[in-house]
C-alpha cells in the first residue's frame, strides 16, 4: 500500500522526529510511505494535485487534526490521524477549527492519542466516537553522537568559565515559539546564577518564529548565566543532554514532550512546568519534578543539586518508565495494526 503522510516537518522538532519514526514503522510492514510537509500545502486542492501523481496513493495519515487532517477531508482516500497537543490545547478554542476537527474525526478510520489524558480531553471537548481513538505513547530511542565535544559546545554557546568541569548545566530544549515560553525562568535563574556562578541555563532549539526568536535573543543578552545555543542534530543534542545536569521544560502547554522522554531515557533528571501534557508523563518526585512558578523551579533545582539520592531515584524511575511505557516496538505494532483499517 502506498501511504501519503502529512505532518509539520520543521527540521529538528518533535513533530518531525515523530513523523519519521511512524513512517519507519509503516515501511517496516512492507508499505511505501511518502512524508509531505504541511507547511507547503495551503489548501486541500494542493493535496488533491498530489493524488494525480503515479503511482497513486491508496491511503493517508496526518499528524494534527487541524493542520494536517483538514487537508484530507476531500481527497477520497481512507485516512487516519494522530492528535497533536495543539489540537486540544489551542485549536479547539476556535469555533471554526473545532468544527473542522470534528469533521476530520467523523471521516477518519482511526485516531491516535499519545496519552489517556489527551484522549479524555478530546472526548470532552470534541464530538467524536470514543472507540475510534486509540492510545499509543510515543516510542523512544536515543542515539548519542560519539564525536561530540562538550567543551566546544559550551565555548560556541558563549559560556566562559575556567571551571567547565564543575558547571551544572540546566538544558531547556524547545523550538523558539511563544507556547514553549523559554523566557519564563530566565530572570529567576539569572538571580540564582549571581549567587551560584556554577549553575547556568542553556536554551536550545530550532528558531521557528523569527519575531519571537529576536525577542529571546535580546532578552538573553540582559541576563547573566543564561545562554542561547544554536540547534544541533538529534544525535548531538542527545550528547549534550547526557552531559547536562538536568532537562528543563517551561511550556505553556504540551502534547507529549519528546525532549522530556529522551532525557529520561538518557539518564537525565527532568524539571517540567506543571501543565497537563507534562503531568501526564512526569510523576512528581518519582520520575521527575513538576513546578508551578519560577521560584518553585529554583527551590526544586537547589534540592536536586543537594540531594544525590533524589537525583538517583528520579533517574532510575525515569529510565524504568521509558522502558515500560514508551517501547518503540510496541508503537510499531500498534501503527501496523491500525494501518490495516485503511485497506
Convert the pLDDT of each residue in 281-333 to its tens digit. Answer: 999 999 999 999 999 999 999 999 999 999 999 999 999 999 999 999 999 99
Min mean pLDDT across 152-166, 219-233, 305-319 is at 152-166
**What's the pLDDT at 244?**
98
The model carries a pTM of: 0.87
Contacts for 306 with CB less than 8 Å, ≥ 6 apart: none
Buried b / exposed e along 293-331 (16+ C-beta atoms within 10 A): ebebbbebbeebbeeeebbeebbebbbebbeebbeeeeb
**What's the pLDDT at 331?**
96
Cell reading at 246: 538536568
Measured distance CA(102)–CA(234) in Å, rounded: 34
Residue 85 has pLDDT above 90, yes or no: no
**What's the pLDDT at 15?**
79
Min mean pLDDT across 66-70, 163-167, 226-230 is at 163-167
**What's the pLDDT at 50?**
82
Domains of the chain: 2-139+327-342 (3.40.50.2000), 150-325 (3.40.50.2000)
Average pLDDT, the chain: 93
Give the residue among 254, 256, 253, 290 at the shortest CA–CA distance from 271: 290
Residue 12 has pLDDT above 70, yes or no: no
Contacts for 58 with CB less than 8 Å, ≥ 6 apart: 1, 2, 3, 77, 342
The string of pLDDT tens digits covering residues 240-278 is: 999 999 999 999 988 889 999 999 999 999 999 999 889
The string of pLDDT tens digits covering residues 101-138 is: 999 999 999 999 999 988 999 999 999 989 999 999 99
Confidence at 51, pLDDT banded by 50, 70, 90: confident
Residue 72 has pLDDT above 90, yes or no: yes
**What's the pLDDT at 65?**
95
Amino acid at each position: 500500500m502506498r501511504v501519503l503522510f502529512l505532518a509539520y516537518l520543521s527540521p529538528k522538532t518533535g513533530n518531525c522526529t515523530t513523523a519519521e519514526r511512524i513512517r519507519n514503522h509503516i515501511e517496516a510492514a512492507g508499505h511505501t510511505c511518502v512524508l509531505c510537509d504541511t507547511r507547503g500545502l495551503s489548501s486541500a486542492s494542493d493535496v488533491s494535485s498530489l493524488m494525480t501523481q503515479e503511482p497513486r496513493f491508496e491511503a493517508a495519515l496526518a499528524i494534527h487534526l487541524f493542520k494536517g487532517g483538514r487537508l484530507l477531508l476531500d481527497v477520497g482516500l481512507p485516512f487516519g490521524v494522530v492528535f497533536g497537543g495543539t489540537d486540544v490545547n489551542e485549536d479547539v478554542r476556535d469555533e471554526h477549527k473545532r468544527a473542522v476537527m470534528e469533521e476530520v474525526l467523523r471521516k477518519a478510520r482511526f485516531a491516535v492519542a499519545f496519552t489517556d489524558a489527551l484522549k479524555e480531553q478530546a472526548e470532552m471537548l470534541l464530538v467524536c466516537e470514543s472507540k475510534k481513538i486509540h492510545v499509543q505513547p510515543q516510542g523512544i530511542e536515543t542515539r548519542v553522537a560519539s564525536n561530540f565535544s562538550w567543551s566546544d559546545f559550551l565555548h560556541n554557546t558563549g559560556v566562559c568559565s575556567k571551571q567547565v568541569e564543575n558547571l551544572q548545566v540546566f538544558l531547556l530544549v524547545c523550538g523558539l515559539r511563544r507556547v514553549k515560553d523559554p523566557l519564563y525562568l530566565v530572570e529567576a535563574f539569572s538571580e540564582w546564577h549571581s549567587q551560584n556562578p556554577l549553575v547556568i541555563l542553556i536554551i536550545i532549539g530550532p528558531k521557528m518564529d523569527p519575531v519571537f526568536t529576536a525577542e529571546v535573543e535580546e532578552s538573553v543578552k540582559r541576563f547573566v548565566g543564561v545562554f542561547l545555543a544554536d540547534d544541533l542534530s538529534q544525535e548531538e543534542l542527545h550528547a549534550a543532554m547526557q552531559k547536562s545536569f538536568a532537562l528543563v521544560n517551561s511550556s505553556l502547554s504540551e502534547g507529549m514532550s519528546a525532549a522530556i522522554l529522551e532525557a529520561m531515557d538518557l539518564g537525565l533528571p527532568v524539571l517540567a512546568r506543571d501543565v497537563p501534557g507534562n503531568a501526564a508523563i512526569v510523576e512528581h518526585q518519582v520520575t521527575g519534578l513538576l513546578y508551578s512558578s519560577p521560584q518553585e523551579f529554583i527551590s526544586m533545582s537547589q534540592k536536586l543539586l543537594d540531594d544525590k539520592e533524589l537525583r538517583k531515584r528520579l533517574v532510575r524511575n525515569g529510565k524504568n518508565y521509558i522502558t515500560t511505557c514508551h517501547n518503540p516496538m510496541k508503537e510499531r505494532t500498534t501503527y501496523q495494526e491500525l494501518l490495516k483499517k485503511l485497506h
